[in-house]
Chains A and B, each alone.
Chain A
Amino acid sequence: MAIAARYHDGQTAEVHAVGLDYERQGAVGAVIIRDAATRAEMARWTSSDIFAVHGRQGELRLGASGHTDGARLVISGDRDIARIRATLPILAEKRRAETGRQLRLAALATAALASVIVAYLYGVPLLASRIVNLVPIAWERSLGDTVARQMEASLAAEAGFEVCDPDPDSAANRAIARFGAAALAGSGSPFDLDITVVRTDVPNAFALPGGKVYFFSALLERAQTPDEFAGVLAHEIGHVAHRHGMEQLISTAGTGALIGFILGDMTGVSVAAGLGATLIDSRFSRDAERQADRFAADVAKRMDFQPAGLADLLDRVGEDDDFTKAFALLNTHPLTDERRAALVDLTRERPGDVEPPFTLAEWVAIRTMCERHPAGKTKTR
């Protein structure tokens, strides 16, 4: 008995009520599509050409390769569908093959994306250190100025921004500048250092792109020896010499692009993007910290101070200070046991016959440069 179906021939939009018969000639089977009323043959689909396309529940839709693209047979009702499936086992085979193909495609695309991500995680920091050499010096300098302005403005709004000793020719500033120039000498850095000691109660020190270094008074007050102060300062100058600020910026931009790609919103900035980028960047910053430490140790070979003083100072801030205040410092300068051990090792390599970085008078001047002077002596920049 013929199975009732609806037939779209793919050439006109007419719907034909048809009956389906199955005919076998040797090894080749075929579905004969006959008009339901006249029993006239309308088309003949070889069973190996037939495939099922997606249809809703309770409906089977068939197409056939080699026939018009849009030609379809639509069979409704569970009983008739079961009969067709039994007659054409190839439908199930093709379906399995297609599911497998889609699965492989999705798996392949996922694997490709995963390898892009891995390449990115390792490649971006590496690439950033190459690209940074292509960044024009003038551009980095003006970028540093922009960042400095923004930072000063935000500090001024929150904690107050006041340069401790605005006179560049004071004993303290001269000593700091001399130390900076000596530390940077020989590194081949194209930047001129601009070290500013700022009065604020957040203990921190950092370097911006373009050679600007900020040292906050709260951190200076914690320094008990010139070694600690010199260690931190040399470390920050290391960031300048290695252009880490710029490198970090390039790396962050790169990871942001990747996360946007994964989430599919190239236009939106989402929370996950920020979180993910932070996780990736922390990998990068650990390497940068190590490099800056090594730079500080190299400086200590030319001037007599203990680079491990840097670790002592970070430790003290971590222990004493209220967590939220110290957070920024420790976040950018995570002090791990491994890092401390490396610093102590580096300290051992020092020769014994070099000059200390500051004379006692200079150190006293630096220590007191942030103490409140009589009115009129300091001014807000």
Chain B
Amino acid sequence: MNGQGQPVAFTGTRRELGAILLRGYLLMVLSIGIYRFWLTTWKRRFYWSNTEIGGEALEYTGNAMQLLLGFLQALAIFIPLYSVFFYLSTQSSTTAVIGYGAIAVGLWFLAGYAIYRARDFRLSRTLWRGIRFDQGGSAWGYAFRRFGWSILMLVTAGLVYPFMAGSLWRYRYANSWYGDRQFGFTGSWKSVAKPYYLAYLLVIASAALALGSAAALGAFKGGFPSARAVLVLLLGAVAVGIIIINYQAREMSRMFSAVRLGAAALAVKVEALGLLGQYVRFGLALAGAYIVLAIGGFVVLNTVAPDAFADGQFQPAVLLAHLRGSAATILALITGYLLIFAAFTLMSELFLGLGYWKLVASGTRVYGLETLASVRARDEDKALVGEGLADALNVGGY
């Protein structure tokens, strides 16, 4: 590696993304949800175009129509599956449980396929310095690997995780391309083994400590646990959360830093404190949004169904009676549901999604960028329509 390397910069602002999202949610309501494909496209344009590597921004070349078509294709799988669901729901409970279990396992397998296909779609629609990224390999192959590893994860109670991470990261990057140049991955299970097993032990230790102290304080003897026991359990949960976030930061740093593109290399340093700060900010923002919504919702419900709150007590049955009688109450409830839902997605996009992207970008340097000038274009992967399954299964990230 020569010299200082080039930084990766992110130039987008939270306000810009907020405007895109709010406009998108509004149009989604007007279009009975169809606009979500356009919203995804706008969101990606925002993220891609504001990510600058060596002075040149990325460009997202996909469009909403491709996503819509992909979704319609995925329906072809889901409608028969839905019929099976219906049939199972009418069966005896044992058959139903076995059937639902089989479908859940099948969906877990399909999710691997979907994740890989979605990554292919995004990479092949990413342009930088006039050259496209792309992904080869087989989505089914990836799905089988991921599925096999997850069975091993279950069997070994998570001990096999570093091996799984090494294998899947390698498969993803060894099959990624920039123009005619292939990515590589120099990491392996060794990259994350030490921090992972350390975190594993720490999680078990703090959980055992918290549960043990809470039990000593009489938390599990039936009845409502004492305030001190609850506090101990809460502290334990916070400790486990911090350990996991700290590990996540280390894994991201080490794994991303093992990505190579010919002679070019990434060096990523994600600060655990930065990652933790993101979750804290998200929690605060969400709490704030919900407090505002709760006050608004109480005022509205009091207006449309005042007697449900008579005598200072909430009476669900009276509210239900209003539901049957008044269109205004139904409208208020649906609006309320949508607002709660929107507030959650808005805050997680603004604070977790954007925060994560900015954190990784600002912690990244690229070495050997000058060696990429000789990369040549490859034929475009045009056969790929949309993300299909990924959209229907809700596994797409950005």
Which residue numbers of A lie inside 8 Å of B, CB to CB?
6, 8-15, 53-57, 59, 61, 68-72, 74, 102, 105-107, 109-110, 113-114, 117, 139, 142-143, 146, 150, 249-250, 253, 257, 260-268, 271-272, 275, 279, 323-324, 327, 331, 334
Chain B residues whose CB sits within 8 angstroms of the CB of A102 once the complex forms: 38, 64
Question: Is A272 touching B373 in the complex (CB atoms < 8 A)?
Answer: no
Chain B residues whose CB sits within 8 angstroms of the CB of A279 once the complex forms: 330
Distance from A134 Cβ to chain B, minimum over Cβ atoms (Å): 13
Question: Is A109 touching B68 in the complex (CB atoms < 8 A)?
Answer: yes
**Prevailing SS type, chain B contact patch:** helix
Distance from A214 Cβ to chain B, minimum over Cβ atoms (Å): 19
Query: What is the bound-complex CA distance between A11 and B375, given in angstroms?
Result: 8
Which residue from B38, B59, B178 sits with its C-beta under 8 Å from A106?
Answer: B38
Query: What is the bound-complex CA distance between A146 and B89, given in angstroms?
Result: 10
What total of A-B pairs shows CB separation below 8 Å?
154
With A70-B132, A146-B91, A264-B391 known as contacts, the answer to whether A53 contacts B61 (CB < 8 A) is yes
Question: Is B130 touching A272 in the complex (CB atoms < 8 A)?
Answer: no
Question: Is A12 touching B373 in the complex (CB atoms < 8 A)?
Answer: yes
Which residue from B31, B33, B71, B127 sits with its C-beta under 8 Å from A72?
Answer: B127
Does B32 count as interface, using CB distance less than 8 angstroms?
yes
Question: Is B34 touching A113 in the complex (CB atoms < 8 A)?
Answer: yes
Question: Is A110 touching B57 in the complex (CB atoms < 8 A)?
Answer: no
Chain A residues whose CB sits within 8 angstroms of the CB of B205 once the complex forms: none
Which residue from B75, B318, B394 sits with its C-beta under 8 Å from A265?
Answer: B394
Does B65 count as interface, using CB distance less than 8 angstroms?
yes
Which residue from A6, A106, A262 sits with its C-beta under 8 Å from B56?
Answer: A6
Distance from A173 Cβ to chain B, minimum over Cβ atoms (Å): 28
Query: What is the bound-complex CA distance between A249 and B65, given in angstroms?
Result: 35
Does B150 count as interface, using CB distance less than 8 angstroms?
no
With A8-B129, A61-B59 known as contacts, the answer to whether A143 contacts B90 (CB < 8 A) is yes
With A72-B127, A102-B38, A253-B86 known as contacts, the answer to whether A109 contacts B31 (CB < 8 A) is yes
Chain A residues whose CB sits within 8 angstroms of the CB of B334 once the complex forms: 272, 275
Name the residue among A150, A253, A266 with the largest chain B CB count within 10 angstroms: A266
Question: Is B33 touching A271 in the complex (CB atoms < 8 A)?
Answer: no
Does B92 count as interface, using CB distance less than 8 angstroms?
yes
Question: Is A146 touching B90 in the complex (CB atoms < 8 A)?
Answer: yes
Question: Is B34 touching A109 in the complex (CB atoms < 8 A)?
Answer: yes
Question: Is B130 touching A71 in the complex (CB atoms < 8 A)?
Answer: yes
Question: Is B131 touching A10 in the complex (CB atoms < 8 A)?
Answer: yes
Which residue of chain A is the closest to B38 with respect to CB atoms?
Answer: A106
Query: What is the bound-complex CA distance between A119 and B115, given in angstroms?
Result: 34
Which residue of chain A is the closest to B74 with respect to CB atoms?
Answer: A266
Question: Is B394 touching A70 in the complex (CB atoms < 8 A)?
Answer: no
> B240-276 toward A: CB 8 Å interface, digit per residue (1/0)?
0000000000000000000000000000000000000
Query: What is the bound-complex CA distance between A10 and B372, given in angstroms?
Result: 14
Nearest first, the 8 closest Cβ-Cβ pairs linking A and B are A8-B130, A13-B375, A253-B86, A70-B130, A110-B31, A56-B49, A10-B130, A266-B78
Distance from B101 Cβ to chain A, minimum over Cβ atoms (Å): 15
Query: What is the bound-complex CA distance between A7 and B85, given in angstroms?
Result: 54
Chain B residues whose CB sits within 8 angstroms of the CB of A8 once the complex forms: 56, 129-131
Chain B residues whose CB sits within 8 angstroms of the CB of A53 once the complex forms: 59, 61
Query: What is the bound-complex CA distance between A154 and B321, given in angstroms?
Result: 24
Query: What is the bound-complex CA distance between A59 and B132, given in angstroms?
Result: 20
Query: What is the bound-complex CA distance between A275 and B335, given in angstroms?
Result: 12
Would you give 19 A-B contacts (Cβ < 8 Å), ordered by A? A6-B56, A8-B56, A9-B130, A11-B130, A55-B59, A56-B50, A61-B59, A68-B377, A69-B377, A107-B31, A113-B31, A113-B32, A139-B90, A143-B90, A146-B92, A250-B86, A266-B78, A267-B393, A279-B330
Does B220 count as interface, using CB distance less than 8 angstroms?
no
Query: What is the bound-complex CA distance between A327 and B318, given in angstroms?
Result: 10
Extra contacts besides A15-B373, A110-B35 (16): CB < 8 Å: A13-B179, A13-B376, A54-B60, A69-B377, A69-B380, A70-B132, A74-B56, A74-B57, A106-B31, A110-B32, A143-B90, A146-B93, A150-B93, A264-B394, A271-B337, A324-B317
Question: Is A12 touching B376 in the complex (CB atoms < 8 A)?
Answer: yes
Query: What is the bound-complex CA distance between A313 and B11, given in angstroms?
Result: 71
Chain A residues whose CB sits within 8 angstroms of the CB of B85 once the complex forms: 253
Query: What is the bound-complex CA distance between A249 and B57, given in angstroms?
Result: 54
Query: What is the bound-complex CA distance between A105 and B41, given in angstroms?
Result: 14
Does B314 count as interface, using CB distance less than 8 angstroms?
no
Chain A residues whose CB sits within 8 angstroms of the CB of B92 once the complex forms: 142, 146
Distance from B311 Cβ to chain A, minimum over Cβ atoms (Å): 15
Does B357 count as interface, using CB distance less than 8 angstroms?
no
